Amino acid sequence: MYRLICVVGARPNFMKIAPIIEALESQPDIEVTLVHTGQHYDDNMKQQFFVQLGIPEPDIDLGVGSGSHSQQTAEIMKRFEPVLAKYAAQAVLVVGDVNSTIACALVAVKSHIPVIHVEAGLRSGDRQMPEEINRVLTDQLADLLYTTERNAEQNLNREGIDSARIRFVGNVMIDTLKKHVKKAVPVAKSLAGIDDGDAAKKVEAGYALVTMHRPSNVDDKDTLTRLLSTLVQISAKLPIVFPIHPRTAAKISEFGLQALIDNANIITLPPQGYMEILGLMANAKLVLTDSGGIQEETTALGVPCVTLRENTERPITVDQGTNTIVGSDSAAIMATVDDILENGGKHGRQPELWDGNAAVRIARDLSDWFRQRTQLDKAG
C-alpha cells in the first residue's frame, strides 16, 4: 500500500482536489490522507464546496486561518511537519499556487518526501504576484509535475526541469466543471429574494457576471474606483451580477465607494458556492474577472471572458479559448464588452485533454509511478 497525503487549503484548491480524490478511489494500492490546512475555511464554505463537490471530510484540519503571506506560510509549515511524521507518507500531492501549496511542498522536500504538483508549469511572468512565486518554487521542489496544457512543459524546461518528471494530463478544474454543470444552481434561485424578488426578472434578457478580488485591482483606491465606474457604464448596457469577495467588500467600504454602485444596474451578492457560481457563469452573456480559474472555466463553457489583469498564467485561454486580457483600463474594457455585445465575442475551442478525465489519468500514472519507485528502491 502506497501512502499519499493530498493537501487542500484555499477556495481554488477545492475544485481541483475533488476529482483527484474520487479518481484515486479506483486505485486500491494508494491510501489517501486528506489534509486541510484551513487557509480558507468556515462552516459556510464547508457547505458551499466540500458538500457540493463531494469532497470527503478531511482526515486532518490544521486550522491555520488568515494572516499575512509569511505568517500563513510559516504557520502551515509548523503544523504540517508533525502530520508527515505521524502518517509516514511516501509522497505529498499539492495543487495550484496558494500558500498551502508551497508551504506543504517545502516541508515535504525537507523531510525527504517526494512532492507531486498538479497544475504545474503555469507562468504569468509577473513576479509581483504571490501566486507566481508559489508556482515557480513548488515546481522546482516537485518530483512529479502534472500539467494542464502542453506549453507548460516549455516553461518548466526553461527553468531546468527535466521532461522525465513532467506529465501532460489535462485540467482537473474542467473535470469538476463537466461533472457538475448540468446540476448547477439555476440563476433565478441564486437571485431569489434579491431586490424584493425583482433581480431574477432583471437578468432574464441577459447579464454580465463580475468577480474581482486581486490586490492589484481592489487594494488601490484609484484603480478600484476606475473599475467600479467602468462597471457602472457597462450596467447601462446590460445588468451586472456581482458576488462581492470579502476583500473587495472591505475595500469598497474603506474607500467610501458603495454609493458608486448602489444606484447602478448592478445586483450585488455575498460570496457564492461553486454550484451557484457555475450556474451564473454558464448562463452569462459575458464574464469580467481577475480569477485564473474562471478564465479556464469560461473557455470550457464557451462564454466570453474579459480578464481585468495585465497578464495571465493561462495563455491557452486567450490563444484557444474565449478570454481577452484588458487590464484595468476603462476604454479597453468598454471596447471589448461592446464587441462582445455586438458580435458575440471570441468563440474559442476546447483545449487538448480538457475532456473531464484529467484526474483519471493522474490516478493511473500515480499508481505506476509509486510502483516504479518501489522497484527501483528494491533494486538499489
Query: Mind telling me the catalytic residues?
Result: 213
Closest to 101 in 3D by CA, of 160, 16, 217 = 16
Under 8 Å between Cβ of 14 and 8: yes
DSSP state letter for 46: I
Closest to 317 in 3D by CA, of 335, 303, 328, 331 = 303
Say how far residue 261 (Cα) sits from the centre of its chain: 27
Sign of CA dihedral 174, 176, 180, 185: negative
| DSSP-based three-state secondary structure for 10 | coil
CA atoms within 13 A on the CB side of 49: 24
DSSP state letter for 314: -
* Ranges of H-type helices in the chain: 11-24, 43-45, 52-53, 69-87, 99-110, 130-141, 151-158, 172-180, 187-190, 199-202, 215-218, 221-235, 246-254, 258-262, 274-282, 292-301, 316-319, 330-343, 358-379
Under 8 Å between Cβ of 117 and 105: yes
